[in-house]
């Protein structure tokens, strides 16, 4: 490897090292020159006196050129790190053209669309890069907790012969000589895993929604983290797992990046206390809109979710709330009914934004077929799925969650695309 150390690992006593990264800033001040060398973990100061053989090389370095600098580490009270690197060798690995197509320093307000057009430059900004460090840590912790609790990881098909969710727009694709759709969710396959005896599964994978919404919280393709658990007594078992899982995830993120988040964003990450508050849909609608019946309003729109988040923060001192007893009409055919109007489905709202949809599934064959018909679907279109319920399926439930929405809310970002490396939305297919 070219690099021997990241900047954060160097100490005044490190001796000779090789650092590698981008030339963020080059200054030549008479008989001395300085390079601010940036790597993923921070900044290093390279100091080049006029009598150093590399002094002339500095004059040809352009901002954002990629360098490898080998030399000796020297203690320096003037350097922010408490040390500086005196180069023995400066190698230009890749020279950057000038001018750069965007300013990503944060000094100039560059639009999000333009930043995404040049994402490879945009995330060189340490604050932007931190968002993706946090996203990575979030997803790693999500997996880690599931593995510790005995879950199996599965991978499910993304080509489907029919819809996996009702009410979600489909992307139709040509599949050899057949018509197929991109998966909106791994829902039906997660349930097959329950019928197969896997007991507890998770999947982290892309899902596709041909949703024409131009909003700050929707993508047409995003990574979903899906969980399914067998032998549950009720949807309460699912919610209990999810809240403890998220508390673990937030704790891990805070341990790893809490100090950097405070420095970059100006606030501390709050590890949520469990249990999260629970409100039925009727209770929530009454609290926010003064409505007595769920079917008077149906679901919350984005403004309603924000108002609910504010209400929950004030009343329960929590950023999270489980919204339970969802109207059956607002849920897919596979959800278990509580009664004719409500279901055992729930949403998890975080700071006024839905991050999870979940609940207990219907596992009785006759009831499931009835619900398929109630939703206006042809039972033959999901025959492979429906057949398994004839042969013994345990009570089960689960949820799907968007890690990018979690990070968006965690870091108080304005748009989910800020937490999506290369987003896809109604207008974007590149880069």
Give the HSE-up count for residue 393: Cα atoms under 13 Å, Cβ half-sphere.
24
Residue 311 counted as domain residue:
yes
The whole-number pLDDT of residue 162 equals 76
Q: Residues 123-132: what's their mean pLDDT?
A: 97
Give the domain extent around 341: 126-419
For 313-334, write each residue's pLDDT tens digit.
999 999 999 999 999 988 999 9
CA–CA gap between residue 388 and residue 50 (Å, rounded): 77
For residues 248 and 161, membership in a common domain is answered with yes
For residues 45 and 188, membership in a common domain is answered with no
User: Are the C-beta atoms of residues 175 and 286 closer than 8 Å to each other?
Assistant: no
Q: How many residues does the chain have?
A: 431
CA–CA gap between residue 361 and residue 34 (Å, rounded): 63
Three-state secondary-structure class, residue 329: helix
The whole-number pLDDT of residue 13 equals 95
The whole-number pLDDT of residue 177 equals 92
Q: Which residues make Cβ contacts (< 8 Å) with residue 391, sequence separation at least 6?
A: 195
Residue 429 counted as domain residue:
no
For residues 180 and 296, membership in a common domain is answered with yes
The structure's pTM equals 0.93
For residues 89 and 130, membership in a common domain is answered with no
For residues 150 and 223, membership in a common domain is answered with yes
The whole-number pLDDT of residue 292 equals 56
For 228-259, write each residue's pLDDT tens digit.
999 999 999 999 999 999 999 999 999 999 99
For residues 79 and 136, membership in a common domain is answered with no
The whole-number pLDDT of residue 125 equals 96
- Three-state SS for 265-296 is HCCCCCCCCCCCCEEEHHHHHHHHHCCCCHHH
For residues 138 and 89, membership in a common domain is answered with no
- pLDDT at residue 262 is higher than 90: yes
Among candidates 350, 261, 256, which has minimal Cα distance to 312? Answer: 350
Residue 314 counted as domain residue:
yes
Residue 426 counted as domain residue:
no
For residues 205 and 339, membership in a common domain is answered with yes
Residue 282 counted as domain residue:
yes
User: Are the C-beta atoms of residues 63 and 23 closer than 8 Å to each other?
Assistant: yes
For residues 158 and 236, membership in a common domain is answered with yes
Q: Examine the fold and report which residue of 51, 74, 94 is the final residue of a domain before the chain moves on.
A: 94
Q: Examine the fold and report which residue of 42, 77, 94 is the final residue of a domain before the chain moves on.
A: 94
- Mean pLDDT for the chain overall: 94
For residues 238 and 346, membership in a common domain is answered with yes
For residue 270, give the CATH number of its domain: 3.30.930.10
How many domains does one find in the chain? 2
The whole-number pLDDT of residue 168 equals 60
Range list of H helices, 54-125: 55-58, 112-117, 119-122
Q: Residues 51-73: what's their mean pLDDT?
A: 97
DSSP classification of residue 15: -
For 364-391, write each residue's pLDDT tens digit.
999 999 999 998 888 887 888 899 999 9
Alpha-carbon distances, residue 74 vs 44, 45, 165, 168, 397 (angstroms): 12, 11, 61, 60, 59
- Strands of the sheet containing 178-182, edge to edge, are 159-160, 178-182, 172-175
For 155-201, write each residue's pLDDT tens digit.
999 999 876 665 568 999 999 999 999 999 999 999 999 999 999 99
The whole-number pLDDT of residue 138 equals 99
Q: Residues 295-308: what's their mean pLDDT?
A: 77
The whole-number pLDDT of residue 293 equals 53
Report residue 217's pLDDT band, with 50, 70 and 90 as the boundaries. Answer: confident
- pLDDT at residue 148 is higher than 60: yes
For residues 183 and 317, membership in a common domain is answered with yes
For 99-123, write each residue's pLDDT tens digit.
999 999 888 889 999 999 999 999 9
Q: Residues 13-35: what's their mean pLDDT?
A: 97
404: left (phi over 0), alpha (psi -120 to 50) or beta: alpha
Among candidates 213, 132, 104, 208, which has minimal Cα distance to 407? Answer: 132
Q: Residues 75-89: what's their mean pLDDT?
A: 95
For residue 89, give the CATH number of its domain: 2.40.50.140
Going by DSSP bridges, is the β-strand pair 200-208/152-153 parallel, antiparallel, or unpaired?
parallel
Residue 72 counted as domain residue:
yes
Residue 117 counted as domain residue:
no
Among candidates 418, 413, 395, which has minimal Cα distance to 195? Answer: 395
For residues 79 and 217, membership in a common domain is answered with no
- pLDDT at residue 350 is higher than 60: yes
Residue 48 counted as domain residue:
yes
The whole-number pLDDT of residue 251 equals 99
Other CB atoms within 10 Å distance of the CB of residue 138: 23
58: left (phi over 0), alpha (psi -120 to 50) or beta: alpha
Identify which has the larger pLDDT, 291 or 150: 150
Helix, strand, coil distribution of the chain in percent, nearest 5: 35, 30, 40
Q: Which residues make Cβ contacts (< 8 Å) with residue 241, sequence separation at least 6?
A: 149, 227, 229
- pLDDT at residue 15 is higher than 90: yes
């Amino acid at each position: 490897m070219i690099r021997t150390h990241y900047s954060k690992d160097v100490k005044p006593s490190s001796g000779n090292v090789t650092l590698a990264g981008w030339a963020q800033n080059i200054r030549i001040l008479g008989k001395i020159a300085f390079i601010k060398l940036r790597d993923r973990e921070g900044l290093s100061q390279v100091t080049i006196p006029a009598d150093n053989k590399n002094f002339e090389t500095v004059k040809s370095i352009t901002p954002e050129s990629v360098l490898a600098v080998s030399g000796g580490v020297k203690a320096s009270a003037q350097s922010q790190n408490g040390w500086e690197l005196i180069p023995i060798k400066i190698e230009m690995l890749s020279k950057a053209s000038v001018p750069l197509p965007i300013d990503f320093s944060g000094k100039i307000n560059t639009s999000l669309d333009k930043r995404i057009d040049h994402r490879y430059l945009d995330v060189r900004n340490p604050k932007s890069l931190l968002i993706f460090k946090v996203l990575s840590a979030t997803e790693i912790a999500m997996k880690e907790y599931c593995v510790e609790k005995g879950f199996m990881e599965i991978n499910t098909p993304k080509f489907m012969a029919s819809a996996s969710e009702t009410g979600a727009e489909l992307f139709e694709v040509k599949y050899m000589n057949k018509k197929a759709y991109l998966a909106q969710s791994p829902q039906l396959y997660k349930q097959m895993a329950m019928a197969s005896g896997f007991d507890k599964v998770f999947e982290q994978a892309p899902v596709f929604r041909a949703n024409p919404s131009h909003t700050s919280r929707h993508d047409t393709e995003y990574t979903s983290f899906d969980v399914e658990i067998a032998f549950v007594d009720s949807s309460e078992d699912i919610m209990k797992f999810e809240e403890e899982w998220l508390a673990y995830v937030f704790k891990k993120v805070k341990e790893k990046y809490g100090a950097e988040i405070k420095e970059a964003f100006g606030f501390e990450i709050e590890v949520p206390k469990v249990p999260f508050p629970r409100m039925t849909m009727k209770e929530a609608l009454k609290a926010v809109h003064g409505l007595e019946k769920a079917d008077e309003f149906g679901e919350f729109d984005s403004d309603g979710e924000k108002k609910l988040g504010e209400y929950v923060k004030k009343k329960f001192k929590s950023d999270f709330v489980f919204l339970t007893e969802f109207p059956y009409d607002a849920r897919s055919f596979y959800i278990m009914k509580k009664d004719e109007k409500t279901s055992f489905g729930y949403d998890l709202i975080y700071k006024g934004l839905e991050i999870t949809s979940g609940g207990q599934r219907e596992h009785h064959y006759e009831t499931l077929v009835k619900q398929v018909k109630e939703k206006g679907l042809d039972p033959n279109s999901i025959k492979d799925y429906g057949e398994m319920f004839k042969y013994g399926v345990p009570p089960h439930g689960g949820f799907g969650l968007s890690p990018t929405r979690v990070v968006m809310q965690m870091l108080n970002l304005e748009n989910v695309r800020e937490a999506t490396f290369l987003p896809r939305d109604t207008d974007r297919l590149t880069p």
